[in-house]
A and B are shown apart, each in its own frame.
Chain A
Amino acid sequence: MATLFGSGIKRREDPRLITGKATYTDDVKLPGLLYAAMLRSTYAHAKLNQVDVAKARKAAGVVAVYTGADVKDKLNTVPCAWNVPNCDLKVPPHPVLAVDKVRYVGDGIAMVVAESRAAARDALDLIDVDYDALDAVVDPEKAAAKGAPELHKEVPGNIAFTWKVAGGDTGKAFAEAAVRVEQRIVHNRLLPTAMEPRATCASYNAGTGQLTCWITSQNPHIHRFLLSVMTKLPEHRIRVIAPEVGGGFGSKIPGYPDEALVSFASMELGRPVKWTEDRSENYKVTIHGRDHVEYVELCGTKDGTITGLRTRVYAGLGGYASTAAPGIPTILHGLMYSGPYTIPNIEGTIYGVYTTTTPVDAYRGAGRPEATFLLERMIDLYARQIGMDPVDVRRKNLIPKDKFPYTVATGITYDSGNYQGALDKALQLIDYKKVRAEQAKARKEKRYLGIGVTTYCEICGLGPSQVAGAVGFGGGLYDSAIVRVYPTGVVRAYIGGKPHGQGEETTFAQIVADEFGIPVENVEVVAGDTEATPQGWGTYGSRTTAVCGSAVKVAAQRVKEKAKKIAAHLLEASEADLEWKEGKFVVKGSPDKGKSFGDLALMANVAWNMPPGVEPGLEATAFFDPSNFVYPFGTHICTVEVDVETGEVKILRYVAVDDCGPQINPMIVEGQVHGGVIQGLGEALQEMAVYDEDGQLLTGTMMDYAVPKASQMPKVETAHTVTPSPVNPLGVKGVGETGTIASVPTLVNAVCDALAPLGVTHIDKPLTPARVWAAIQQAKGGTP
């Protein structure tokens, strides 16, 4: 029987999605439903003197209004769940509604609960807030400077942590180096913009003491835990359902005040309560991404051997430490400074800094795009300085394919790789020599063609739980599956992950169907309901296939082992005499004597004739904890032409060669690459969240924040190499984030390469025409 593994079958998620029959959180309707609306701070930083809700409470349709003072003794503060050790991390209290101070525009001040969406919204206008404005500080580097306005009395100087990574002897490397390059790099703040805004619908049953909460969540079990902490309700009395979730990109990982407030309101009022963000509210209160200011130095020999890398990074955290925030610019960033290269000496100092802005947390790639970007940018600067082709510099420093597992200077060990293989394939696809020749010709005609190359590897498939504990992550990083076989031979897999676009309902069904030799239609994958699924840790960090998929595989294997016992008993043969053939256990040598998976499903479930000591039923649970992270890798190359008169960048070709190990469903893998690359190109070309000096978000709607449109983006040419990972039974690596990790430096390197003849060395992203033009003018003027 042909295997389903490796087959680009169509997704089983799609029929409900293309017909409008899917249920997202805001689609949930319950009898007696109330609607909540949140009053948000209009100041970035202010003392809160008085919040007068008297008029709002009396308004038509209003059922209740709550302020910070009303809830502060009833709800706990919002927890931060990644307490990175050895960095003096300071996590000040984050009240679910502000009590005496607001710390960003959007900080919650009051919640109105009313009979309709409109009544809730109307009542917000009736609340009077008396503020005393304080100075705002929106730039992490400025917030870390002496004399900056302080957000939290518990955090002098706004420094949440100072985290260091070091390997080798970087001081010596720089002292002895023949060549050094340095660059200040700013990572633009980004708005994740999952197309579905966040929402929560909470229903508390006072009779049973059970809270059911529908949440737009990438990780319902984590939300159950965080809700339990905030509401003080024991975890076993909370059921979190993440129904259809319309994208996340990290923004639906954290615990937010909103779900606790809505749950609290349902508990207080005895009626279900729903709250749904507007987009402009989403842009103010749902986490942002990136926001680094980095000082980076790289050193090496004159012939292209990189000998050291040193960074000083100011990572903006926003007004409070969001759920995973401390781990992003540290563990997921600093540890990746070696990239795919053998850099012997690495040193980084990362300051996490509170600023009067929306909290910053994991956004697609989370820390790794920033690491890859700084490294790939520095390599291009270095290559230019020593007059070497940037591809040759990369090739010279790549970890050789026979050196895996390979431990880099930051101390982590890469599982497997063939970096040269991916590089060669990408060079071949783009026809590197030819495009370099075209570039040379174009330059003579005063046309500005550029070629950008990124060779990357990234850490994902998060990850061994022991490591999670060691780095302060407030949970495990295994994942789980129950594989349950019904009497008629159909199967359900209940998983701990929560796919929200990545297609695991299909790919995991492929795994199970392969294992049992049954049609994929006979397998269903269930996710997102904590009442049905085993403890899991969610979908993020390109972990679901590698970790949760492996749990599915292991659970299915266990089911099959039990089925084999039953088959042996029924066939009056020993297990050793059986073999699995064409979806049947057959007795070796007598292929007509066999039991199909369907036969065994029935016999196990009716239990009329079980082997001695074997329990009835046919299901198994697996908790899979990987032995290491996985490290996908690849090479992206893009060619651009820059109109130097206007600063406009035109992408001519974009080639992505990625290696995520064996692909369960190549169609889905390709879709992940497309989406990731375009999202990265958005970051590289046009997306930027901007605050003014008073902390007002100037890009607070889709009129001003440039999410890529179909007409603005190129086609992506994809290809892959296949290097299995030894750390999980499927051999798979992640592919959800490779696009955003690789595409950003690829594009920026291409534009800087195009403008090299004009003397442009670096432009901070996004490379809007305005910025590219300004860089050209600056280079022409001869100013640095």
Chain B
Amino acid sequence: MKRTITLTVNGAPRSVEVEPRALLALVLRDQLDLTGTHIGCDTSQCGACTVHIDGRAVKSCTMLAVQAEGHAVTTIEGLAAKDRLHPLQQAFWDKHGLQCGFCTPGMIMTAADLLAHNPKPSEAEIRHALEGNLCRCTGYQNIVAAVQLAAGAR
């Protein structure tokens, strides 16, 4: 049975009618038009769907929308203030930390969680933190450089 859930998305309250089985990632994409959250796998490996729930990075394809009821969801679209770039977004741009861009939103959301709780991570810590985000284009080197740059800019 469908039910209406209320949650905060990128700072604004939203109500949406969902089936209990609906994955948060699909609800964000199909019903809330937040298509910056991508789906790249079905086993919780790739991390393209990473969003923040109450400020912590989670994989929105491994979460039911009903589980997010009453919580605050932040997607890549809501990471920075309007018309501004988050330091990580800027750093990914500056350091060529992306190519096709499909993994990028999830990568940035995970890195944002890392830096929020470990402002000056070592390279090894960055690589460890990004284990749940796969990128097939960059070989990770410039992603790591981007996270380091953003960490330095804080």
Contact = CB atoms under 8 A, between A and B. Distances in A.
Contacts of A707: 45-46, 134, 136
A631 to B, nearest CB: 24
Contacts, number: 179
B75 interface: yes
Contact size class for B? 35 or more
Contact of B77 (A21, A193, A501): A21
Contacts of A247: 99-100, 102, 136-137
A766 interface: no
A290 to B, nearest CB: 16
Contacts of A14: 92-93, 98, 101
A590 interface: no
A679 B19 CA distance: 39
B37 A678 contact: no
Contact of A501 (B33, B46, B100, B131): B100
B101 A18 contact: yes
Interface stretch (A435-443, A620-628, A667-675, A769-777): A667-675
A701 interface: yes
Nearest to B92: A18
Interface in A232-257: 244-247, 249
A19 interface: yes
Contacts of B103: 195, 246
Interface residues of A, number: 58
A17 B33 CA distance: 16
Given A10-B93, A702-B134, A710-B127, A18 B99 contact: no
Contacts of B33: 29
A679 B93 CA distance: 22
A13 interface: yes
Contact of A245 (B30, B37, B100): B100
Given A279-B43, A711-B131, A118 B85 contact: no
Given A247-B100, A709-B131, A710-B131, A679 B136 contact: yes
A245 B101 CA distance: 9
Interface in B73-100: 75-77, 80, 85, 89, 92-94, 96, 98-100
A388 interface: no
A244 B40 contact: no
A684 to B, nearest CB: 13
Contacts of B121: none
Given A702-B46, A711-B128, A196 B38 contact: yes
Contacts of A278: 42
A117 B141 CA distance: 37
Contacts of A739: 139
A17 B101 contact: yes
A678 B96 contact: no
Interface in A663-714: 667-668, 670-671, 674-679, 701-703, 707-711, 713
A678 B136 CA distance: 9
A711 B102 contact: no
Given A17-B104, A195-B102, A710-B127, A702 B45 contact: yes
B143 interface: yes
A24 interface: yes
B99 A671 contact: yes
Contacts of B134: 195, 702, 707-709
Given A10-B94, A667-B96, A710-B133, A716 B101 contact: no
A650 interface: no
Given A20-B35, A196-B40, 20 more contacts: A11-B96, A21-B77, A194-B102, A195-B46, A195-B136, A196-B102, A197-B39, A197-B40, A245-B100, A246-B100, A246-B101, A249-B136, A279-B42, A668-B96, A670-B96, A678-B139, A703-B43, A709-B134, A710-B130, A710-B131
29 contacts: A10-B93, A14-B92, A15-B85, A16-B101, A18-B104, A18-B105, A20-B77, A21-B77, A117-B30, A118-B19, A194-B100, A195-B40, A195-B134, A195-B137, A197-B40, A246-B40, A279-B43, A280-B42, A501-B99, A501-B137, A671-B137, A674-B141, A701-B41, A701-B45, A702-B45, A709-B131, A710-B126, A716-B139, A716-B141
- The 5 A-B residue pairs whose C-beta atoms are closest, nearest first, are A20-B36, A246-B102, A17-B101, A678-B139, A501-B100
Interface of A: 10-11, 13-24, 26-27, 29, 117-118, 193-197, 244-247, 249, 278-280, 500-503, 667-668, 670-671, 674-679, 701-703, 707-711, 713, 715-716, 739
